[in-house]
């Protein structure tokens, strides 16, 4: 190595300083993970070189044998990890080793919870696994040269993991990266061949290129030092190419951590080889925990794509629909060309066929999880439920299958947990019930106590309670399930069908006829505030409610559209009153038109509040209410 030039000292980005402090002082309870992270990064660097070399073979510089080497020096207390992958330029080193290279650099710190186990899973997701080196090292030296650059354009990055790092230009004959860890005095156990071998076998056996360790042999005659031979210590074959019967659960779990940059085991996985018209292998994983950027639909996502075992793309998003963007894994195709690009992927009919099959495989995996591991599925739904609710709108072909995976709160629960599946709901439906009833709202407390549910409580009919912001939009795409149509209990003129006896229906008609005069008076009093006034079949305890017109937007959709700056079409609610309620009887007997008008508007505003809506004129409501209170107190 020649003399270093253009040497400068730079400060770490603020988030990196905080991260390093966390790494060094508290975050990792399992220190040996540092080697897994560095090997994983080295593997990615080799994959990137393989891919770039498809178009530019000269990047291989005559050295097509790709590998990772791990060595140690007991006397110097160092561990060295070297790869002959893509390498880094000076600019790359400053960017990748001095900052957290994710959009929104403060996100990492923002997502930390203070819980060591929960926090550790973020490290790989944010691409900061390199910094795990400082768990065992008090100084780290990185020597690198990007493939294609001259030997004189090597870079030396060095830091003690405090506030700054040094960077300089050096001579480096070979492409790739060499990382030298200067171990802390308490961590010299890692400068040991047996220890390193065990860690590699434990965490990195699945890496699909050789990981070599030095094997000391006796010195040849006349030599002072024994010659160093290298031996491969991992299996060095792509895990997904092996038969399922030969792969242990622990191997699947470790491979997931490598692919997903996650520190937790996956919830479930599916390994499948397709032969015939199309030939490809897939290994798909359901994570245990949601990634930090799950709800950023434009965030990087997708499967690792290989073509005939050659890495092609890190986030191939064309193989699964957007609502399954949390799925991690690998797809290896024999039918795609090696020069495939994102644009080609979007137009290739082979991709459409693979996407359809992979989507079905994921949904089957989730169905199996829901059936066999209901508690595990409950955890899955808590993390990924809102994303799954995007499915019926995006994936018409699998709408029924997705609907079967949805979970909701209902009037049969008491804590708002979303645990009720549609199949379970129908299994315990009332005899003669041919509808699935639901109610949407802002909060569980609001919908649970809604007056719209009164007749359902009286008759013992279960109603699904939907309070996620996406729910009303979701239900606009779900028309039926298992032949039973969905009915919003707050919309239109409620018809309970066979659940109402002929006597009930006849009695309701007679009551409506007897209150025609009151209906007309209310229409006059409420004027333009309402689209219609009618006797309610929904109420047993409350005096009045506001129903939504059959074709009108509900409150949730109106708020979503307004928040996004879109124009919301005008619509007016339907005012329904309970003729048996004492307040309505009092209203019916009121002779003063002024007092009748005030009482009508108070009932209207109360019904709006009960529905979770805001009042158009709160001051007028308060004025009328105060006036009424004064009259009552006289």
Q: Is 125 annotated as a binding residue?
A: yes
Residues 6 or more apart whose Cβ sits within 8 Å of residue 394? 321, 322, 323
Cα 612 from Cα 519, distance rounded (Å) = 24
DSSP string, 602-628: HHHHHHHHHTTPPPS-HHHHHHHHHHH
Q: Is 325 annotated as a binding residue?
A: no
Cα 559 from Cα 473, distance rounded (Å) = 11
Q: CA nearest 391: which of 320, 336, 338?
A: 320
CB-based contacts of 24-32 (< 8 A; 24+ apart in sequence): 24/134, 24/135, 24/161, 26/116, 27/116, 27/119, 27/120, 27/123, 27/135, 28/120, 28/132, 28/135, 29/116, 31/135, 31/136, 31/187, 32/190, 32/199, 32/202, 32/203
Max Cα–Cα distance, the chain, nearest Å: 122
Specify the residue for token string 């100084």. 139
Neighbours of 22 (CB within 10 A): 19
Cα 344 from Cα 323, distance rounded (Å) = 22
Q: Is 43 annotated as a binding residue?
A: no
Cα 449 from Cα 438, distance rounded (Å) = 14
* Lateral strand order in the sheet of 435-440: 409-410, 464-466, 435-440, 484-488, 480-481
Q: CA nearest 97: which of 52, 143, 61?
A: 143
Q: CA nearest 147: which of 167, 174, 178?
A: 174
Q: Is 127 annotated as a binding residue?
A: yes
Helix (H, G, I), strand (E, B) or coil at 505: helix
Q: CA nearest 273: which of 208, 327, 334, 207?
A: 334
Look up residue 89 and give its DSSP letter. Answer: -
Number of residues that this document lists for the chain: 634
Q: Is 83 annotated as a binding residue?
A: yes
Q: Is 626 annotated as a binding residue?
A: no
Q: Is 130 annotated as a binding residue?
A: yes
Q: Is 472 annotated as a binding residue?
A: no
Residue 360 backbone phi and psi in degrees, to 5: -60, -40
Q: Is 128 annotated as a binding residue?
A: yes
Q: Is 37 annotated as a binding residue?
A: yes
Cα 312 from Cα 239, distance rounded (Å) = 17
Q: Is 195 annotated as a binding residue?
A: no
Q: CA nearest 327: which of 294, 374, 280, 369?
A: 294
Binding residues: 37, 41, 83, 88, 102-104, 125-130, 177, 342
Binding residues for ATP, as ranges, are 37, 41, 83, 88, 102-104, 125-130, 177, 342
């Amino acid at each position: 190595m020649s003399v270093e030039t253009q040497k400068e000292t730079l400060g770490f980005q603020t988030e990196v300083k905080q991260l390093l402090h966390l790494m060094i002082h508290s975050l990792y309870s399992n220190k040996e993970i540092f080697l897994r992270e560095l090997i994983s990064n080295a593997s990615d660097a080799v994959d990137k070189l393989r891919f770039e070399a498809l178009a530019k073979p000269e990047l291989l510089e005559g050295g097509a044998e790709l590998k990772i080497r791990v060595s140690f020096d007991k006397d110097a207390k160092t561990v060295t990890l070297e790869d002959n992958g893509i390498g880094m330029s000076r600019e790359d080193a400053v960017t990748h080793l001095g900052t957290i290279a994710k959009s929104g650099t403060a996100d990492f710190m923002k997502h930390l919870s203070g819980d060591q186990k929960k926090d550790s899973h973020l490290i790989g997701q944010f691409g900061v696994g390199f910094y795990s080196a400082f768990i065992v090292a008090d100084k780290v030296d990185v020597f690198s040269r990007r493939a294609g650059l001259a030997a004189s354009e090597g870079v030396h990055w060095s830091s003690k993991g405090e506030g700054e790092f040094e960077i300089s230009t050096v001579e480096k004959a070979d492409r790739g990266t060499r990382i030298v860890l200067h171990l802390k005095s308490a961590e010299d156990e890692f400068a040991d061949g047996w220890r390193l071998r065990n860690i590699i076998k434990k965490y990195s056996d699945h890496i699909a290129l050789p990981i070599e360790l030095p094997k000391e042999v006796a010195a040849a005659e006349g030599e002072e030092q024994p010659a160093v031979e290298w031996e491969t210590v991992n299996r060095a074959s792509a895990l997904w190419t092996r038969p399922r019967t030969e792969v242990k659960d622990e191997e699947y779990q470790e491979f997931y951590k490598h692919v997903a940059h996650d520190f937790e085991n996956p919830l479930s996985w599916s390994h499948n080889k397709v032969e015939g018209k199309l030939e490809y292998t897939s290994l798909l994983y359901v994570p245990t925990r949601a990634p930090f950027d799950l709800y950023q639909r434009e965030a990087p996502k997708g499967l690792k794509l290989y073509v005939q075992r050659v890495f092609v793309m890190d986030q191939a998003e064309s193989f699964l629909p957007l609502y399954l963007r949390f799925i991690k894994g690998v797809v290896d195709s024999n039918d795609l060309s090696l020069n495939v690009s994102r644009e080609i992927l979007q137009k290739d009919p082979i991709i459409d066929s693979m996407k359809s099959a992979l989507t079905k495989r994921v949904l089957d995996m989730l169905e199996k999880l829901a059936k066999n591991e209901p508690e595990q599925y409950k955890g899955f739904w808590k993390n990924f439920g809102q994303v799954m609710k995007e499915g019926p709108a995006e994936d018409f072909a699998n709408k029924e299958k997705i609907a079967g995976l949805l979970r909701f709160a209902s009037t049969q629960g008491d804590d708002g947990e979303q645990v009720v599946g549609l199949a379970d709901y129908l299994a315990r439906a009332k005899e003669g019930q041919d509808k699935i009833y639901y109610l949407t709202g802002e909060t569980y407390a609001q919908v649970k106590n809604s007056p719209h549910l009164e007749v359902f409580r009286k008759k013992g009919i279960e109603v699904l309670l939907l309070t996620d912001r996406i729910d009303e939009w979701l239900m606009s795409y779900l028309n039926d399930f298992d032949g039973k149509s969905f009915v919003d209990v707050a919309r239109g003129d409620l018809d309970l069908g066979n659940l109402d006896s002929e006597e009930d229906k006849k009695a309701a008609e007679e009551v409506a006829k007897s209150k025609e005069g009151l209906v007309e008076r209310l229409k006059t009093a409420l004027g333009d505030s309402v689209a219609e006034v009618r006797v309610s079949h929904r109420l047993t305890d409350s005096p009045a409610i506001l129903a939504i017109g059959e074709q009108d937007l509900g409150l949730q959709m109106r708020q979503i559209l307004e928040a996004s700056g879109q124009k919301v079409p005008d619509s007016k609610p339907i005012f329904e009153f309970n003729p048996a309620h004492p307040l309505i009887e009092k209203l019916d007997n009121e002779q003063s038109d002024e007092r009748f008008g005030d009482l009508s508007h108070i009932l209207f505003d109360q019904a709006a509040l009960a529905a979770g809506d805001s009042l158009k004129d709160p001051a007028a409501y308060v004025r009328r209410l105060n006036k009424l209170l004064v009259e009552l107190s006289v």
